[in-house]
């Protein structure tokens, strides 16, 4: 389906020029901030999507200053601009979904590029079953991704080539180990799709991270199912800074402790063991990268540093989660 005709909108006002526009088969909510380096390719891949009934794009931009908002104003069906400080992983997605017109709403981040023209159709398809509340896509590492980024992604459910559907009764959830609870509730907003009628009852929680798995837990315990559709794939991987990874890991594991009781590293001896196990793995990843092209010194420092940063972030996140639980118990 081509994207040659667009109706630009600003804030919550849609400009239809007096023409009644029927709801499309799907809406795509795209979150952006300074996305110009990848936005042209992403937009081209969106333009190639093949889905009966068509789709619209609702963009929510967090105060970009590189031309992203201007690019989207010319092309998106609706553009919502928010101050950077108002961004919240749950609340901002709720804002975009509320502005969408379709009952099937796909969520996409700016650096996840659809891998084929069937990305959206395959993502929407499982929602034909009313028991399914949400669906998420397969993630394929980018061509230039480091060996460490590939390994990290391979440890998550979004790299499997096998579809799955999860249904989970409350009593079954309680009987699972914490890590099993996490895997059962897996939902990933890098590329996902949900049913608006379910979202109206169960919006995303306002949280700095992990709004997707928190929502997955919420809808599963409400009696719905979550589907994984590997036929819907996006190209997405990261090689991020030590500081970013530390802050993200700490926040994530604080939330995992709260949501599932999961403590991946709960003591100083466990932290020391984790670093000792991680270090040779990271060295092997650097060796694999060196076989393709010699990594720069800064990359050596980053990859070796992550052998300590990731475990430290997990440990401190667990401690913060415990502290929050104690404070909640006192209130």
Query: Which residues, in sequence order, are bridge partners of residue 32?
Result: 61
Beta bridge partners of 78: 58
Would you state the pLDDT for residue 331?
57
Tell whether the model's pLDDT for residue 6 goes beyond 60. no
Is the pLDDT assigned to residue 8 strictly greater than 80?
no
What is the DSSP code (8-state) at residue 143?
Answer: T
**Residue 283: its pLDDT value, please?**
96
Range 109-132 average pLDDT = 97
For residue 123, what are its two tokens?
A: 């993502």
Measure the CA–CA gap between 5 and 54, rounded to whole angstroms: 12
**Token representation of residue 76:** 């998106």
Q: How many CB atoms are located within 10 Å of the residue 277 CB?
A: 11
Domain ranges of the chain: 9-235, 242-330
Residue 225 has pLDDT above 80, yes or no: yes
- Taking CA atoms, 321 is separated from 81, 243, 256, 261, in Å, by 33, 20, 8, 9
Q: At 250, is the pLDDT very low, low, confident or very high (cuts 50, 70, 90)?
A: very high
The pLDDT mean for the chain works out to 92
Q: Per-residue DSSP letters for 53-122? A: T-EEEEEEEE--SSSHHHHHHHH-SEEEEE-GGG--HHHHHHHHHHH--SSEEEEEETT-EESSTTHHHH
- 150 close to 141: Cβ distance less than 8 angstroms: yes
Mean pLDDT of 216-225: 97
- Sign of the alpha-carbon dihedral angle for 279, 284, 288, 290: positive
Please state, in angstroms and rounded to a whole number, the distance separating the CA atoms of residues 81 and 61. Answer: 5
Model confidence pLDDT, tens digit, residues 130-158:
999 999 999 999 988 999 999 999 989 99
Per-residue pLDDT at 303 exceeds 90: yes
Rounded to whole angstroms, how far apart are CA atoms 143 and 235?
Answer: 9
Give me the pLDDT at residue 20, please.
40
Q: What pLDDT is recorded for position 17? A: 32
Banded model confidence at residue 87, pLDDT cuts 50, 70, 90: very high
pLDDT of residue 21: 59
Pick the CATH number of 9-235 from 3.40.630.10, 3.90.550.10, 3.40.50.720, 2.30.30.240: 3.90.550.10
Q: Write down the pLDDT at residue 11.
A: 35
Q: Is the pLDDT of residue 16 over 70?
A: no
- Are 289 and 299 within 8 A, CB to CB? yes
CA distance 267 to 276: 14
Give 292 or 264, the one with higher predicted confidence: 264
142 vs 149: CA distance, rounded Å:
9
The pLDDT assigned to 1 comes to 36
Cα 225 from Cα 210, distance rounded (Å): 19
Percent of the chain topping pLDDT 90: 86
Q: What is the dihedral of CA 191, 195, 196, 199, to 10 degrees?
A: -80
Q: Rounded to an integer, what distance in angstroms lies between the CA atom of residue 96 and that of residue 178? A: 32
What are the phi and psi torsion angles at 183 (to 5°)?
Answer: -65, -35
Q: Name residues whose C-beta falls within 8 Å of residue 24's C-beta, 6 or more positions apart in sequence.
A: 53, 54, 55, 56, 101, 102
Residues 279-295 pLDDT 10s: 999 999 999 999 888 77
In this prediction the pTM is 0.90
Mean pLDDT on 302-312: 97
Categorize the per-residue pLDDT at 330 as very low, low, confident or very high, splitting at 50, 70 and 90: confident
Distance CA 259, CA 252 (A): 10
Give CA 232 to chain center in angstroms: 14
In percent, the amount of the chain with pLDDT more than 70 equals 93
pLDDT for 175-191, tens place per residue?
A: 999 999 999 999 999 99
Residue 136 has a CB neighbour count (10 Å cut-off) of: 27
Residue 54 binned pLDDT confidence (cut-offs 50, 70, 90)? very high
What H or E segment, with its residue span, contains residue 288? helix 268-292
């Amino acid at each position: 389906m081509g994207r040659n005709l667009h109706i630009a909108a600003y804030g919550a006002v849609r400009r239809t020029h007096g023409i009644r526009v029927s709801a499309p088969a799907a809406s795509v909510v795209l979150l952006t901030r300074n996305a110009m380096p990848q936005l042209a390719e992403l937009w081209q891949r969106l333009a190639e999507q093949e889905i009966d009934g068509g789709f619209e794009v609702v963009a929510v931009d967090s105060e970009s200053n590189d031309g992203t908002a201007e690019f989207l104003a010319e092309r998106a069906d609706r553009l919502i601009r928010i101050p950077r400080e108002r961004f919240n992983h749950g609340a901002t997605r709720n804002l975009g979904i509320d502005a969408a017109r379709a009952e099937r709403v796909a969520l996409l981040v700016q650096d996840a590029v659809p891998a084929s023209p069937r990305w959206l159709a395959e993502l929407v398809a499982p929602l034909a079953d009313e028991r399914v509340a949400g669906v998420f896509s397969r993630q394929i590492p980018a061509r230039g991704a480091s060996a460490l980024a590939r390994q990290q992604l391979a440890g998550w459910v979004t790299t499997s080539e096998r579809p799955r559907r999860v249904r989970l009764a409350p009593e079954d959830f309680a009987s699972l180990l914490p890590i099993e609870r996490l895997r059962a509730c897996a939902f990933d907003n890098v590329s996902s799709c949900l049913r608006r009628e379910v979202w109206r009852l169960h919006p995303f929680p306002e949280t700095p991270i992990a709004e997707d798995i928190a929502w997955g837990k919420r809808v599963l315990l409400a009696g719905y199912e979550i589907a994984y559709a590997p036929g819907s794939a996006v190209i997405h991987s990261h090689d991020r800074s030590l500081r970013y990874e530390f802050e993200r890991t700490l926040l994530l594991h604080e939330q995992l402790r709260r949501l599932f009781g999961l403590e991946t590293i709960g003591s100083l001896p466990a932290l020391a063991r984790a670093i000792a196990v991680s270090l040779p793995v990271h060295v092997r990843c650097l060796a694999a990268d060196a076989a393709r092209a010699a990594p720069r010194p800064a990359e050596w420092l980053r990859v070796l540093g992550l052998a300590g940063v990731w475990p430290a972030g997990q440990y401190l996140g667990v401690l913060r989660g415990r502290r929050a639980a104690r404070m909640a118990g006192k209130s």
